[in-house]
Amino acid sequence: MLKYPDKFLEVRAECVNLPPFSSLCAGFDSDHWRAKPFADHLFQWLPFAALSQENQLAFGANNFVEMLQLAAAHIYNTKKTASRGEIGELIFHLACILHFGTSPVLCKLVLKTSSNDTVKGFDGVHILPKGDDFEIWLGESKFYSDPLKGIQDAVTSVKEHLIPAFLDTEKAMILGHVAEGIPNREAVKKAFKPQTSKDELLKRAVFPILIAYNSDTVASHKILSAKYIAELKAEAEKLRTYFSDKAAGLTVRFVLMFVPMNNKKAVIESFDRKLEAFL
């Protein structure tokens, strides 16, 4: 059984009104936003997001360097620091598991055949058990400086992924990656079989949207306080309203995950330094 790293991000603000949101924050230390510890946490998650289930189970003291090298090869090896979508996929993966209790079926990082490939489709596929039943979470992640641009692009992606021909292709791809140990495995596989109507899949589907962004609120504070939390919630409420406007007309269920940052670039630089040792 896999043992995941402990939580690092904390829920600082949330709302259950539709679409519900949670704002996950890295916090502060000695009057500084915790960019490097956040990057360290992301690196801890690298094997769980970029390795197959078989390789995750085989990960150990005898081969951890080899496995980290394999995982690193599924991320990137260039310095195009303006865009690090893979980091967004890492955040999405850990947020679903640690904060929402999902079981991962597939993170698209596993499918990359070489560094810097771009893999189309949902960024992550997770299962959320609901008693004897389950939801299928089909996620989008955006790691942007501008949260509004991230929301725009996330909504555009969902619209593209709901096109019937695309959904058929995505179903076929996901079906081949439903590993042993997935809760409700046979029912999950049935949902993705070509004989099963896409309508049945969409009845179970939830579309979690993760937006990691440079936050004015985080940048204007140095410590956790009631004022900070109130401002962070107000910021998230505005983003949710903006999302609702952009997603008007879509009848699917959404869950919003906001990850406010002080400095996206600092996270990238810290993460890159750790990753480079294994490339």
> Amino acid identity of 265?
K
Q: What is the pLDDT of residue 114?
A: 46
The structure's pTM equals 0.92
Q: Residue 77: pLDDT band by 50, 70, 90 thresholds?
A: low
Q: Residue 81: pLDDT band by 50, 70, 90 thresholds?
A: very low
Which residues of the chain form beta strands (DSSP E)? 10-15, 21-25, 28-29, 32-33, 103-107, 124-130, 133-143, 205-214, 253-261
Q: Among all chains, which residue has been given the structure tokens 């009848």?
A: 251
Q: Residue 192: pLDDT band by 50, 70, 90 thresholds?
A: very high
Q: Residue 2 above 80 pLDDT?
A: no
Point out the least confidently predicted range of 69-73, 222-226, 244-248.
69-73
Q: Which residue has the higher pLDDT, 244 or 71?
A: 244
